[in-house]
Each structure stands twice: as C-alpha cells, then as structure tokens.
Structure 1
C-alpha cells in the first residue's frame, strides 16, 4: 500500500498544509456548508492541485475533518466497574462531544441522508464508532448475556443516543439541549435495566 502524500518528503510543511485544509473544512462545516476540496483549498490558501494530493474527494476531506475520527474509547482513564456507571459515563462523553461539534454533526447527518448507500459507507457517521464505544461500556455483561443479545442491546441504546436522537428531541420534541442529554442518559439506563431484569428484547422472528 502506498504511503499517504503527507508522509513523504517535506513532512513538516505537508503536515501544516494538511492541518490548514482540515481546519478550513471544519470552519465551513460549522457554518452549515458541505465543503468540497476546492472550498477548503480557497479558505486555507492552498492551490487546488495541491489540495487534491491530500484529499482525492469530498468524502476523504469530510472524514478527516470529523471530530470523532481519532477516538477509540469514551471511558474515563479509570473506568468504573459497574456496568450502569460505565454506560452512563460513555453516554455523557458521547453527548458532550456531539454538543461541542453540533454543527459539524448535523452536516454529517444531512450528508449521510442525501447520499447513496455506497457513498454513506465512507462517511464518519457510518463507521460504527459509537457501537464500539457502547460495546466496550457493556463489556462486564460478557458471560452474563450472549454476545448477540449484548449486540442487540447496544443497537437499542445507540438508537436512543447520538446526533440523530439529539436532533429529534430538540427540533421535534422541543427539549432544551440539557433536557435532551438527560433524556438520552435516562433512555440508555432504562434499556440496560430492562435487559438485566427482563432479559433481551424479542428478536422479531
């Protein structure tokens, strides 16, 4: 596999150029735009031909500009042992991160709804990062529940959290952002409690 353009040659200068393009893309996304590589190049003061060496297309640019890209875990440094506390800690961090980058998150959501299935797979919101974060939070359930049931629980919790839920709760439900976050935390905890006390949800078979 060939090395990324930014990792070859004058890496210091290339890193600054890359950072400028990503910063420009984030600025445009925060304003509600769906920036192209050309748009980012103009804002960053970078030649179009140079910008395309870093980002072949809009999809790659948006993925690099997304604030969640580098996160591998949302648990605190010393995570709690209790599964309910672990889940709540992850949901709190997840919602905090979304609120800090709400404009970008809304733009990504809109793009994911407008594009084809093949195009959606390249967008950050379709990379399943939240699924991994929630699965890690629920890891104490391993041995108590079957893997497929843990996964179903993770999917249920994900459906009640994230930017999609925030948009519905605030734009349609009329809640404040603080109320929306509280609702997501309550829903996640309620789903976990349901699974622990009543067993996994029906499969629908």
Structure 2
C-alpha cells in the first residue's frame, strides 16, 4: 500500500510521519489516508508490523541443552541484524511510545490508541526457546524471554550505541555475550 510505504520512507529518514505526511509522500488524498489510518499511532503501528518480520524461523536441529546457548546466541544475532537494519523505524516507534507515555504521565488524555511494542521480539524469542519448553520450567523460560528482550530492539540501540558509543559490530558482540550468559545461567540453574 502506498500510504504504508510513504510512512516507512519517512521513518527511514528519521521523521515521525503524521497521517497527512504519509499521504503526501504517497500522493493520495488525506481523506483516503485517514480512512485507512485514523491516527498517527495506527499508521506507525502498521508500518512496523508490516515492515518487520514478527517471528524467527529457528533451526530445529539443535534442541538439546548443550546447543541451547548456541541456538539462542544465533537467534539474538539475527534479531540484532534486523534491529540494526531497521534502526530508524524502530527509533521512530520508540519516540512515539515515549511521547504517549509522557502524555499519560502528565495526566492528559491520549487522543489515540497506544503503540503496542514487543509484537515482533517477544514471539521471535519465544520461537527460539520453543524446543526447551519441556526441559525448562515455565518460570525459567519466561524469565529468560524477558531478559533476552532487553538486548534486542530500539532500547538496546540507545544503550549500546548512544550511551556507550559502540559501533554496530561491538554492540552485537556485547548483546551476543549477554544472550549466551543469560542462557548458560538458565541451564546451570537446572543442572
């Protein structure tokens, strides 16, 4: 859809598109754009959901605990590549969600639906961990999923790249190390 591509184009350029902005880039009327996307939040949410994979296709060959850390590290590395490849879009969504949070904290009414975040990373991490559902307790899997979700996404870019000034390669190495460490700690807890 042209409106969606217009929104993605603006996000890749580091701009947070309004529905009117996306309509202008797509060369469609504002009325048409608002018919499909009544709010900026709806537009941006759809741009992310249709523009990024929402799952990770795991390699089922390595489902034993000795390969667990390798599998998780590989999954996180692939997710980080997607994060870096779509950095501008993800940072745009983060910005809008922070603006919405600030509006709510100020006691103001949010005029549109809240951006839902984590709709890609959580299912992808769960897919990577799926072969271990019978081996690890639900509580251990949940905790590991939560821990791993901290190292992929726009938030990890803010910490690793903006705060620490790491280049992409070193940022990925640190995140992979964290993934391996968390995974190994989870395995060690059951042995």
- The normalised TM-score by structure 1 is 0.78
1:50 aligned to which of 28, 32, 44 = 32
Please give the secondary structure, in 1, of the residue aligned with 2:89: helix
Count of aligned pairs: 180
1:149 aligned to which of 121, 135, 140 = 140
For residues 84 and 163 of structure 1, do their structure 2 counterparts lie closer, same or farther at Cα, with a shift above 3 Å needed?
same
> Aligned pair 1:33/2:15, yes or no?
yes
2:90 aligned to which of 105, 129, 140 = 105
CA deviation after TM superposition for structure 1 residue 68, in Å:
6.1
Aligned to 1:186: 177
For residues 171 and 68 of structure 1, do their structure 2 counterparts lie closer, same or farther at Cα, with a shift above 3 Å needed?
farther
Aligned to 1:123: 115
- The normalised TM-score by structure 2 is 0.83
Please give the secondary structure, in 2, of the residue aligned with 1:161: coil
Structure 2 gaps, min length 5: none
Please give the secondary structure, in 2, of the residue aligned with 1:75: coil
| 4+ residue segments displaced more than 6 Å | 117-121
Aligned to 2:46: 64
CA deviation after TM superposition for structure 1 residue 122, in Å:
4.0
Aligned to 1:138: 129
Please give the secondary structure, in 2, of the residue aligned with 1:115: helix
The alignment's C-alpha RMSD in Å is 2.4
1-structure distance, mates of 2:88, 2:54 = 22
Structure 1 gaps, min length 5: 1-18, 200-205
Greater relative CO, 1 or 2 (CA 8 Å, sep 6+): 2
